[in-house]
Homo-oligomer: A and B are copies of this chain.
Amino acid sequence: MPTLARPAPQRRTDYRAFVEVTTRWSDNDMYGHMNNAAYYSFFDTAVTSWLISVGLTADPAETMFFVAETGCRYLSEIGYPDRVSVGLRIARLGTSSVGYEIGLFRNEAETAAAEGLFVHVHVDASTRRPAPLPAAMRTALEGILA
């Protein structure tokens, strides 16, 4: 697994774009905190919402990305009913792949409660095989390159 480019913990100023998400009662597990798998539903939602916000896709089913790798370090407690800000930056931009680094921030906290990795591979929607990032897409993605 790739290592994060910077030592933990990250702060809000370490990220280039933010997406706000709401937590759910069902996100919490028996310990009263967010289940470790729920964090990942925030990762792909934030990445896809950011892609939509910069006009890279109107329909997530047409501009297709497969997920190649994900990871998360859980640093401090977070869970329903907290509000969560998801910070994004791109650490690696390959021919067809995009490596995001992600920070989850609880309510007004300045320090990340969790740090994640999320590697997207751009695929051709018909063949579902890796396809180079189109130039316009690459330019937009460079906008949040770390």
B38 x A26 contact (CB < 8 A): yes
Query: For the side of the interface on A, what is the size category?
Result: 35 or more
Residues of A within 8 A of B (CB): 1-4, 20-26, 28-32, 35-38, 40-45, 48-49, 52, 60-61, 64, 66-74, 80-81, 117
Residues of B within 8 A of A31 (CB): 61, 64, 66
Closest Cβ of chain B to A54, distance in Å, is: 13
A66 x B71 contact (CB < 8 A): no
Given A71-B72, A72-B71, A25:B41 Cβ within 8 A: yes
28 contacts between A and B (CB under 8 A): A1-B2, A1-B4, A1-B73, A1-B117, A21-B24, A22-B45, A23-B45, A24-B41, A25-B30, A25-B45, A25-B60, A26-B35, A26-B37, A26-B41, A26-B45, A30-B30, A30-B60, A35-B41, A35-B44, A36-B40, A36-B70, A37-B41, A37-B43, A40-B40, A48-B80, A60-B81, A66-B74, A71-B117
Bound complex: CA A73 to CA B3 (Å): 14
A49 x B117 contact (CB < 8 A): no
